[in-house]
């Protein structure tokens, strides 16, 4: 069965998307990777939240009046609906931010899932300071279940998936409600090992990452060139670009 992985796409982080996609596919397996672009979703009629960009560059959602930091902050919650549109009614479907580098095959992760849960995540502890910044100076904001939604695996055959597969929710609910998993009780959310969403500066140093998540800023950003595993990211990026140039794959450099 094909594992569909939706990767959050932000026009400011095209390089990150390229590396994330390549690292997902590099370990083999029947995997289909889809860029989750709000522009594409708007064209297709799936997404209509109005945004504004302030002079400082801060993005603010007009529906709830709250700022957000990535172009896929809300669209990630369309993933169960988009999976159904692809005909997926059983098995896992994954969402992940684009600022990830996968070091291990996804089969190692899928094999550990608790299939009694409708959605599984790494349950990060709330350690973000209120005045922290990320992503080109974008503000960090504290909210319930912070960072949990950066990697989500939905169980499409679960009886409770219908609640998450309603496309109106991503267009109408506040960002805090969405990232809070619609108030789903803690015990009903499956837990993924922290090694699959290992964040430099936040996750335990003793953990050997299966996937690195540069939530505070990645090697493609000024000032973050020496983050842990930056060398691995740059090596994979060079390989992606070299392959694209050798094969004249112009679409590799085209924004979604």
Q: Concatenated DSSP letters for the chain?
A: -PEEEEEE--GGGHHHHHHHHHHHHTT-SSEEEEEE-HHHHHHTTS----EEE-TTS-EEETTT--EESSTTTTGGGGHHHHHHHTT--SSEEEEE-SSEEE-S-HHHHHTT--TTSSEEE--------TT-EETTTEEP---TTTTGGGEEEEETTSTTHHHHT-HHHHHHS-HHHHHTGGG--GGGEEE--GGGGB-TTTS-TT---SEEE-TT--TTSTT-TTSTTHHHHHHHHHHHHHHHHHTT-GGGGS--
pLDDT in tens, 37-87: 999 999 999 999 999 999 999 999 999 999 999 999 999 999 999 999 999
Query: Which domains are present in the chain?
Result: 3-253 (3.90.550)
Element (H, E) at 16: helix 14-25
Is 135:70 a contact under the CB 8 Å cutoff? yes
Candidates 215, 247, 242; CA nearest to 16 is 215
Beta bridge pairs of residue 139? 133
User: With 60 as the cut, is the pLDDT of residue 142 above it?
Assistant: no
Whether this model's pTM surpasses 0.85: yes
The pLDDT of residue 14 is: 95
Answer with the residue of higher pLDDT: 145 or 210: 210
SS3 of 236, please?
Answer: helix
The distance from CA 26 to its chain's CA centroid, rounded to whole angstroms, is 18
Question: How far is it, in rounded angstroms, from Cα 207 to Cα 18?
Answer: 26
The pLDDT of residue 204 is: 85
Is 117:155 a contact under the CB 8 Å cutoff? yes
Q: In the chain, pLDDT over 70 holds for what percent of residues?
A: 92
């Amino acid at each position: 069965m094909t594992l569909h992985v939706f990767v959050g796409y932000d026009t400011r982080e095209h390089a990150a998307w390229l590396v994330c996609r390549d690292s997902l596919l590099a370990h083999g397996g029947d995997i289909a990777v889809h860029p989750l672009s709000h522009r594409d979703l708007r064209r297709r009629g799936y997404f209509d939240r109005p945004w504004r960009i302030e002079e400082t560059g801060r993005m603010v959602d007009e529906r709830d009046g709250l700022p957000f930091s990535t172009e896929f902050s809300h669209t990630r919650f369309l993933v169960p609906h988009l999976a159904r549109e692809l005909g997926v009614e059983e098995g896992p479907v994954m969402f992940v931010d684009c600022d990830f580098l996968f070091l291990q095959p996804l089969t190692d992760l899928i094999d550990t899932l608790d299939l009694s849960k409708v959605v599984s995540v790494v349950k990060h502890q709330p350690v973000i300071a209120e005045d922290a910044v990320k992503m080109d100076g974008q503000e960090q904001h504290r909210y319930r279940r912070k960072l949990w939604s950066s990697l989500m695996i939905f169980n499409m055959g679960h009886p409770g998936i219908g609640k998450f597969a309603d496309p109106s929710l991503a267009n109408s609910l506040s960002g805090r409600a969405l990232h809070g998993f619609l108030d789903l009780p803690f015990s009903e959310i499956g837990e993924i090992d922290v090694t699959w969403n290992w964040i430099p500066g936040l996750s335990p140093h003793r953990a050997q990452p299966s996937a690195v998540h540069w939530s505070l800023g990645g090697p493609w950003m000024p000032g973050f060139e020496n983050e842990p595993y930056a060398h691995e990211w740059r090596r994979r990026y060079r390989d992606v670009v070299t392959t694209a140039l050798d094969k004249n794959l112009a679409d590799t450099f085209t924004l979604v």
